Amino acid sequence: MQVTDQNGCTALLDTVIVRQANAPIQLQESVIRSLTCFGTNDGSIRVQLQGGIPPYVLLWQSTDIGNNYINGDTLFIDQLRSGNYQLLVTDSVACRQTFNFNVTSPDALELTGNATPSPKEQALGTAQVVVKGGTAPYRYLWSIGNSPNTPRLNNLPIGVYTVTVTDVRGCTTSISIEVKEDTGTATRNMDTSLAFTLQPNQRMSWYIWYCPQIFRWRKFIYTPM
């Protein structure tokens, strides 16, 4: 290229290269793996970058990022807990872009146990577990022989029964449920009568019942002799 100024002086310049404006830094692909179970740290983020002018300088706005692997324009981090993660990318000409990611977690696997009692030396009790959280469907393993895959057991004698619940992701937790002795009051209908001898001229009398069980009488009939 030849350049001439207002005085007629000329100069020959080297070739000038005009570059097109750089494409902005973008995510070509991002894969986020959520936690397997509540409270674990097996989440991960994999991103592939495009645009800008490599190489890139990457800065995570978090101190809990586990292992950090970079291969060209691809970044992978693992051993992550649930939460928000922010990535600041700077290319070779100081252009910057920020990206946000969220690693999620399933709800905690929570168990609640219920039981009905059984009379002593009989097998009339029940034990049931109610599951909340985790990821359905669930599998049930009871501490009895030939354990059925069910949240409820029937016809149980007095005792303590442990059930381990596993969700579809492999998360497990256990609870012990006690079937207690049934000490409830039995009700028996009795169609019987009992005779009393009252003293003459006695207008009021008190009668005290002595009995190991609680009972009620239906009516009291006084018949003069």
Asked whether residue 141 is assigned to any structural domain, the reply reads: yes
Query: How far is the CA of 78 from the CAs of 32, 37, 64, 121, in angstroms?
Result: 10, 15, 10, 56
Please indicate, yes or no, whether residues 98 and 36 belong to a single structural domain of this protein: yes
CATH code of the domain covering residue 114: 2.60.40.1080
Residue 194 lies in a domain: no
Mark whether 98 and 168 lie in a shared domain: no
Measured between alpha carbons, how far is 141 from 106 in angstroms, rounded to an integer?
Answer: 22
Task: State which of 179, 202, 217 marks the end of a domain.
Answer: 179
> For the segment 4-56, what is each residue's pLDDT rounded down to a tens digit?
777 777 766 666 555 555 789 999 999 999 999 999 999 999 999 999 998 88
Judge if 96 and 122 occupy the same domain: no
Closest CA to 35 of 80, 100, 4: 80
73-121 residue pLDDT tens: 788 899 999 999 999 999 999 999 999 999 999 999 999 999 999 999 8
Residue 185 lies in a domain: no
Residue 31 domain-assigned?
A: yes
Asked if 92 and 131 sit in the same domain, the reply is no
Q: How far apart are CA 72 and CA 27, in angstroms?
A: 14
Same domain, 6 and 99: yes
- Do the domain assignments include residue 193? no
Tokens for 185? 């009051």
Whether residue 91 lies inside any domain: the answer is: yes
Structure tokens at 22: 């750089």
Query: What CA–CA distance (Å, rounded) separates 155 from 159?
Result: 12
Number of domains in the chain: 2
Q: How far apart are CA 161 and CA 144, in angstroms?
A: 8
Give pTM, 2 decimals.
0.64
Full residue range of the structural domain in which residue 96 is found: 2-103
In the block, residue with structure tokens 């993660």 = 85
